[in-house]
Structures are given as structure tokens and as C-alpha cells.
Amino acid sequence: MNIITNDKSIYAMSAANAPVLTVLAGSRVIFETKDCFGGQITCETDAFDGLDWGRINPATGPLYVEGAEIGDILSVTIEKIEIADKGVVACGQDMGTLGHLFDQNHIKILSIVEDKVIFSDDISFPINKMVGVIGTAPAVSEGEISCGTPCLHGGNLDCKKITEGATLLLPVNVSGALLAMGDLHAAMGDGEIGVSGLEVAGRVTVTVDVIKGKKLQTPMIFDDTHIMTIASHEDLDMAVDIATESMVKYLMEEKGMTLADATMLISLAGNVCICQVVDPKKTIRVEVKNCYGKNKKAT
């Protein structure tokens, strides 16, 4: 079994990172991951000031996938996400949407019992396991991109649809793609408004594959029911435009729809959803049901 242990971590995605494992396309790989704090928070009274910010958002990897060349697409199917039985959530001054209302920071360490988050004595809710940071190396000309920032290569997308059973498509910008991931969440709502999910260590089992001869406008996700495009931008309106245009292009190129039909379909039956609004760039996804167009089976 191919395993990358969580001591093999990077803090920026870059063509300059040396691969820690090389596999053939079609391989299954396990990525062991630290939580987004690098395991530095172990009790609720830990001071944020004491954190080593250079050790935030570690991503395990990178993985070199044989045959992945510039211009290809890397397909990453999330087979399984295993998480620790405790997670950390934080909020506070200058963090997230409500940072201006706080004059100090707050940390909760929450237990996960029988697939539920125990938030308090009287509040519990089901987990929604997801991968927060996942990406390939950006092109050499782009230098390095911090694992805390989402962009076209992936990165800190904080999209709750990147979960078990989903397939994520990412661009290949350098030979081997150099896939890395981390920042697992046991739970996170759309928006992640307080700046943190329920941050957990764990491990992710993925199958990686290479798609030749197709162009990706933005990262995409396919799951049992939906096709999704994801875009990140400092400005939420711009992110909506980019994700929507990416979906229109997909429907035109892969489903044979006209621009007008694709636009009308998204307007009537697609959803523009927020992934997160708290990272250096905000992330939007556009979701369309995976039952339209030329691939539809006769019913």
C-alpha cells in the first residue's frame, strides 16, 4: 500500500517541492494528515499568540503521478476519510466574518462520538467529513502558493463537497502534478464564517488518475448526484462569475448545449453555493444535477 506519512508536509504548493512518493496513474494512495494547526493546539486554554504560524496548514505530500504532464487533468477520487475522535474549533479577534466583535480568542476541543460532533451538553449534530486543503503545484511561473490560499490549482478550497465518494479534477501544471492535501474537517458549514472547521488529524485514501486531452477551466467535483465547478477570488462576485462561466463551458463542451441553454439551465436548476468566505480568496461552487445533456440515460 502507498502511504505518505504526516511528517512529509509542505506549507506552500510549488513546482520546486521534491516529490515524496511516485506512483502510476490509477494507484491508490493514503495521505496521513495533521490538523490545520499542525497539532499545536492540545487544550482549550492554549494561547493563539503562542502558535508558530509557520506551521499552520500543513499539506501532506507532494505525490508525483507518473504520466501526468502539463495540460492534463489530475483526477482524485476520495475513497475514504478517517478522522481522529477529537477536533479543534476556534474563533476570535480579527478572524472570520465576526472577528470585529471579539476582543479575545476562543478554542473548543470537541469530541466526535458515533459520527456525531458533541458541541455541548445539549447540542450535537452529524459529522460531515471533508478535505479542506487539496491541490497540485501551480505552474513554475506562478512560484509558490501558500497552502492557506485557494486558487486554480486547488489549495485551501474548504469545500464541503470534497468528501468520500467525490472525484475532484485539478489541473496538471508541472510534470507529475505534485498532489498534496491536509486540513481535514470533521464538520464545516458553507461559509466557515468563524475561520475554522472542526479541525482534525486523520488520513485520506484516494485514487489518482490522469485525463489526457481535456482542458479544465477551474477545479471541478463530480459526485453521485452533481457536477460542480469551483472558483476562488478575493471578490465573491468575481468568484461567482468565474465558477458560473466554467460550468457553462463544461455544459457546452461536454454536454453539447448552446450558451443560451446552458445559461438557462443553470438559472433554473443550478445552484450557486458558497464554500468559504474567510480565506485569502473566497470560494464559490456552482452545482448542476448530473442528469442533463447528451450523457443522459433514457428514462
Question: Which residues of this chain interact with Zn ion, rule CB under 5 A?
Answer: 36, 132, 183, 197, 199
Question: How far, in Å, CA of 229 to CA of 39, rounded?
Answer: 31
In this structure, the number of other CB atoms found within 10 A of the CB of residue 99 comes to 16
Q: What is the DSSP letter of 191?
A: B
Q: Which is nearer to Zn ion, 162 or 228 (CB)?
A: 162
Q: How far is the CB of 35 from Zn ion (least distance, A)?
A: 7
Q: Report what 274 binds from Zn ion, Ca ion, none; CB cut-off 5-8 Å by kind.
A: none
* 194 touching Ca ion, by CB under 5 A: no
Q: How far is the CB of 36 from Ca ion (least distance, A)?
A: 6
Residue type, 82: E
Helices (H) and strands (E) in the chain, counts: 2, 23
Residue 116 · residue 124 · CB < 8 Å: yes
Segment near Ca ion (CB under 5 A), from 94-102, 180-188, 220-228, 250-258?
180-188
Segment near Ca ion (CB under 5 A), from 101-109, 126-134, 249-257, 283-291?
126-134
Q: In the structure grid, which three cell numbers stand for residue 255, read together?
A: 454536454
The one among 35, 72, 183, 199 contacting Ca ion by CB under 5 A: 183
Q: Which is nearer to Zn ion, 68 or 117 (CB)?
A: 117
Q: Which is nearer to Ca ion, 278 or 288 (CB)?
A: 278
Q: How far is the CB of 18 from Ca ion (least distance, A)?
A: 24
Residue 71: which residues within 8 A CB-CB, separation 6 or more? 172, 215
Residue 253: which residues within 8 A CB-CB, separation 6 or more? none
Which residue shows C-alpha cell 476582543?
A: 103
Q: Is 237 helix (H, G, I), strand (E, B) or coil?
A: helix
**Segment 257-296, which members bind Ca ion (CB under 5 A)?**
none
Q: Which is nearer to Zn ion, 150 or 197 (CB)?
A: 197
Segment near Ca ion (CB under 5 A), from 71-79, 165-173, 175-183, 285-293?
175-183
The one among 35, 72, 158, 199 contacting Ca ion by CB under 5 A: 158
* 135 touching Ca ion, by CB under 5 A: no
* 156 touching Ca ion, by CB under 5 A: yes
Q: Report what 33 binds from Ca ion, Zn ion, none; CB cut-off 5-8 Å by kind.
A: none
* 196 touching Ca ion, by CB under 5 A: no
Residue closest to 135 by CA, chosen among 62, 34, 85: 62
CA 99 to chain centroid, in Å, comes to 23
In this structure, the number of other CB atoms found within 10 A of the CB of residue 250 comes to 22
Q: Which is nearer to Ca ion, 156 or 205 (CB)?
A: 156
Q: In the structure grid, which three cell numbers stand for residue 68, read together?
A: 501526468
Report the phi/psi class of residue 94: left, alpha or beta, with left for phi > 0 and alpha for psi in -120 to 50. left
Q: Report what 156 binds from Ca ion, Zn ion, none; CB cut-off 5-8 Å by kind.
A: Ca ion
Residue closest to 19 by CA, chosen among 136, 163, 117: 136
* 132 touching Ca ion, by CB under 5 A: yes
Q: Which is nearer to Ca ion, 62 or 132 (CB)?
A: 132
Residue closest to 110 by CA, chosen among 122, 118, 100, 121: 118
Which residue shows C-alpha cell 521534491?
A: 18
Q: Which is nearer to Ca ion, 60 or 244 (CB)?
A: 60
Point out which residues bind Ca ion (CB under 5 A).
Answer: 132, 156, 158, 183
